[in-house]
């Protein structure tokens, strides 16, 4: 008879880092991380953002 051990493997769960965003009048805003839980009337900051077409991204890809 073969004794089999149950292994206790633990896998680290990595979370996904996300941010709240919204757009208004062609301007993109992100919610400041410090204000997520502390203040329901959170502060939003404008960021520089430019849409790029899929074709342009594909042209920049390098296949190895």
According to the model, what pLDDT value does residue 46 have? 92
Q: Which residues have C-beta within 8 Å of that of residue 23, sequence separation ≥ 6?
A: 29
Q: Provide the residue ranges of all domains of the chain, joining segments of one domain with +.
A: 21-60
- Return the pLDDT at 38: 61
The pLDDT profile of the chain, 64 residues, written as one tens digit per residue, is 566 666 666 767 778 787 888 899 889 999 887 655 666 677 889 999 888 899 888 888 876 6
């Amino acid at each position: 008879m073969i004794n089999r051990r149950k292994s206790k493997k633990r896998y680290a769960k990595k979370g996904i880092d996300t941010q709240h965003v919204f757009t208004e009048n062609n301007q993109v805003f992100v919610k400041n991380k410090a204000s997520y839980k502390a203040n329901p009337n959170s502060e939003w900051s404008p960021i520089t953002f430019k849409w790029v077409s899929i074709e342009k991204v594909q042209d920049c890809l390098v296949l190895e």
